[in-house]
Amino acid sequence: MPLHLTKIAFGAKSYAHLESWYEGRGAIALTTRNRPTRHEECVGGSLFWIINHAIVARSPILGFEKTQDGRWDIVLEPRLIRVHQQPKRAHQGWRYLTEDKAPKDVAAGEDIGDALPGRLAMKLERLGLV
């Protein structure tokens, strides 16, 4: 089973805003200073995007490439797959997500309704209400 990564979609205000980052683009390369330690396990997995303290979407990871300036590109498929929202606290650096803890994809035509803000969803989850 591949391992997944989580990343904050810094600057994205909503899923629609994140979706606009992908419009009309070919392969997407996310540049980072440090390659994740377990990068080999992540190829074939996905990068899960966090907006407002919730995981909202994912992009499949195609590979990792070293750039000329010594940084690393995480090469992603140029598609964004919406997932069932899952609360996730903000973090710095890379965090791994195993398959059993990853949110499921939203099926085609499935209505997920309005998403709860991440902080509210986390509080409700702690209370056992979600």
User: Which CATH number covers residue 89?
Assistant: 2.30.130
Say if residue 112's pLDDT is above 60: no
Say if residue 58's pLDDT is above 80: yes
Q: Tell the residue number behind the tokens 């899960």, with chain if given.
A: 48
| Cα dihedral 72, 75, 78, 84 sign | negative
Q: Tell the residue number behind the tokens 């609360």, with chain if given.
A: 87
pLDDT for position 31: 93
d(CA 1, CA 28): 23
User: Which structural domain, as residue segments, surrounds residue 80?
Assistant: 4-126
pLDDT for position 122: 63
- Tens digit of pLDDT for each residue in 2-47? 899 999 998 998 889 999 989 888 889 999 999 999 999 999 999 9
The model carries a pTM of 0.82
Q: How many domains does the chain have?
A: 1
CA-wise closest residue to 59 among 37, 75, 72: 75
Q: How confident is the model at residue 111 (pLDDT cuts 50, 70, 90)?
A: low
